[in-house]
Structure 1
Amino acid sequence: MSGYSVTQFIILAVVIALFYWLSRSFSQNQHTYSKSQFSGFKLTKENLAYSELGLFVALSAKVAKADGRVDELEAELVSNMFSDISALFPNPEATKKMLKEIFDEEKNAPHNIDPVAQALYKALESDPHKRQKMMEFLIHLSYIDGTLSHSEEEMLRVIAKHLHFSEADFASMLERFGSHHRHSVKESSIDQAYTLLGLTPHATNDEIKKAYRALVREYHPDIIKSQGASDEYLKEATEKVQDINAAYEMIKKSRGM
C-alpha cells in the first residue's frame, strides 16, 4: 500500500462514503446493534474474541494486513471502528483495549482464517443480511488504497466461501464495489490544502497529522448503527472527505512526510 498517487488517495474517500451507506443499511433492515444487547455481556477477552463482533474484528485485521501492512488510513478507520463497537458495552475503555489486542494478534495470524470465518458464519447463520453487510465491509476495507491486490482478493474469496456466498455472489459484490470505485476526482492547490485542514504552511508535521485525524474522526462512518443522516448530508460528507484526503496527501507529498 505504499507509493500512492494523489488520485489513488482521493479515491479512498469514495470507500469511506460507502461505509455511511453500509451503516444505514443495517438500520433500514432492523439489524442495528444496541447497548441493551450487551448490557449483560460478561466482558473478558475470550468472550469478546468469540462474539460475532470480535470475530468480525479478527477478519478485518486479516484483510487489512493481507498485502503486508496496515496503512495510516486503515489504522485510523479501524480505530474509529473500535470506538463504535466499544461504545455498545458497559465498559467502553476496557472493551476498546481488548479489541485492539484482538486485532493486533489476528493481523499476524493469517493461517487461522478458516476457523475464524467458520465461527462467524455459525454466529450469523440465521442472519444472511448481516453476513452480507459484513462481507461488503471487508471488501471495502480491502480497496482502501485504491486497488485490490491478488492476496486481498484471495483472502476475501476464502472468507466469502466460509460465509456461504457463491462464487457468483462474491464476484457480484466485487463488481458492485468496483463500479463505485471508478470515479473522477478533483485536485486542489497546496494553499487550498492547508486551508481545508484549518492550517497554515507553518504548521508542524505533528499538527498536520493531528488535524487530519480529527477531521477523519469527525466524518468517519459509524458501521454499528445508523446516524440517521439524510442523503443530502451524506453527499456533502462524501465531498468533504474527498477534499480532506486529497489535501492531506498533497501536503504529505510536498513535505516528503
Structure 2
Amino acid sequence: MEILLLVTIVIIAIAFINFKDYLNHPHKRPQINTQEDAQEINQYQNPYKDQPQPQELSREEKIRNSEYGLIVGLLAKLAQSDGKVCELESELMENTIIDIANALLLQSAMYQKDEILGILHQIFNTTTQSVEELTTHYAERTKGQYKSRLKLVEYMLTLAYADGELGANEREIILDVAAYLEIENSDFNALYDAYEKFYANKAQEKSLQESYAILGVREEDSMESIKSAYKNLVREYHPDILHHKGLDESIIEKHTQKLQEINAAYEMIKAHKNAQK
C-alpha cells in the first residue's frame, strides 16, 4: 500500500514538472502552420456557391399566396365573370376584404391596415391565375377544413346572386370550385337548390314607403345619406366568410333574405329619386 502511494506521488510530481516546463518554454509547444491552413481554406470550393439563393417573398406575394389572398382571387374571378359588378356585389366584396384585412392584422403586427387593404384590392383587380390554379392552391392550404371549403362555396353563391340571378359563367365557376374542393354532392345540391328555390319565389316588391322604412331613412333625406344607410345595413348583414357555421345556420336563412330586402328597397328608392330629377 505504501509502495502504491509512493508511485502515485512520483507520477504526480513528474506531471507537474512537465506542465511547468511547458508553461515556461512556449517555443517547445507544437506550432500551427497558419499559412498552409489558410491555403487549404482558400482552395476549398463551396458546392453551394453558384446555386441561386431563394429570394424572400414580398408582402404582396405572401398575402396573394395565402389562404385569404386566394379567397380574394377566387371572388374576383366570380365577380368579374359576367362583365359587371352590381352595387350590392361591390359592397359585399368590400366588406369581405375588410374582414380579411382585420384577420391578417391579428396574425401579424408587421402590417398596417391601410397597407393590407391596398394589397387585397390589388389582388382583386389584378388576379391573372385561372380558377383551377387558385382553387388547387386553396385546397392545399385547407386540407381537413371541409367546413371552410363549404363556407366558401356558399358565399360564392350569395355573391353570384347579388344581382338577383345566377349567370351561366358564374354557375360554371362555382361548379368548378366545388369540384376541385371535393364538396360532397349532397351538400352542394342542398345549397344550390335552396338558393334556386329562394330566388324563384322572391316576394313581390314592397311599396316605396316600406322601402324607406326598411332602410330606416325618410323621403326627404338626401341620396347621399340614404346610400350611407344602405351601406351600413349591408355591412351589418353581410355573411362573414371567416366564421364557419354549419348548414343549419345557412346564409340563406340568416342573411340572404335580409340582404335582398335591403337591396330591393334601395333600388326602389334610387329609381324614385332619379325619376324626380
> Is the shorter-chain TM-score for this pair beyond 0.5, marking a shared fold?
yes
Unaligned runs of 5+ in 2: 1-56, 106-111
Counterpart contact for 1:43–1:95, Cα < 8 Å? no
1:66 maps to: 81
RMSD: 3.0
In the alignment, which residue of structure 2 is the partner of 1:135?
A: 153
Unaligned runs of 5+ in 1: 1-41
Match of 1:95 in 2: 116
Match of 1:188, SS state, is: coil
Distance 2:261 2:157 in 1: 23
Partner of 2:273: 255
Residue 81 of structure 1 and its aligned partner are, at CA, apart by 0.7
Aligned with 1:125: secondary structure? coil
- Deviation string 1:149-198 (CA, Å, 9 cap, x unpaired) is 11111122222232234667644542243234444425333233234434
2:215/2:265 contact within 8 Å kept: yes
- What is the CA–CA distance in structure 2 between the aligned matches of 1:248 and 1:199, rounded to whole Å? 10
Alignment of 1:143-158 (within 5 A): 143-158=161-176
| Partners of 1:242 and 1:50 in 2: CA distance | 33
Tell me the secondary structure at the aligned position of residue 143 of structure 1. helix
Does 1:219 pair with 2:240? no
Structure 1 runs of 4+ aligned residues shifted over 3 Å read: 165-173, 179-184, 234-243
Q: Of residues 42, 52, 69 in structure 1, which corresponds to 2:67?
A: 52
**129-138 or 199-208, larger mean C-alpha shift:** 199-208
Pick closer, same or farther for the CA change 1:196–1:179 going to 2, 3 Å: closer
Cα distance in 1 for residues equivalent to 2:231 and 2:146: 34
Distance 1:239 1:180, change over 3 A: closer
Match of 2:263 among 234, 245, 248: 245
Alignment of 1:81-120 (within 5 A): 81-90=96-105, 91-106=112-127, 109=128, 112-120=130-138
Cα deviation, 1:33-59, whole Å, max 9, x if unaligned, reads xxxxxxxxx981111111111101110
Which residue of structure 2 lines up, in the alignment, with residue 36 of structure 1?
A: none
User: Residue 90 of structure 2: which of 63, 72, 75 is its match?
Assistant: 75
Number of residue equivalences: 208
The answer to whether the 8 A contact 2:70-2:135 is kept is yes
Structure of greater relative contact order (alpha carbons < 8 Å, 6+ residues apart): 1
Aligned 8 A contact 1:190 1:250 in 2 = yes
- For residue 83 of structure 1, what is the amino acid of its counterpart? I
Q: Is the 8 A contact 1:86 1:95 kept in 2?
A: yes
For the residues of structure 1 that align with 2:190 and 2:201, how far apart are their CA atoms?
19
Alpha-carbon distance between aligned partners in 1 of 2:143 and 2:195, rounded to the nearest angstrom: 24
| Cα displacement string for residues 179-237 of structure 1 (whole angstroms, at most 9, x for unaligned residues) | 3444442533323323443433333322221221122223333222379xxx8xx9797
What percentage of residue pairs aligned between the two structures are identical?
33
User: Which structure: larger Rg?
Assistant: 2
Distance verdict in 2 for CA 1:99–1:195, change over 3 Å: same
Q: Which residue of 2 aligns with 1:10?
A: none
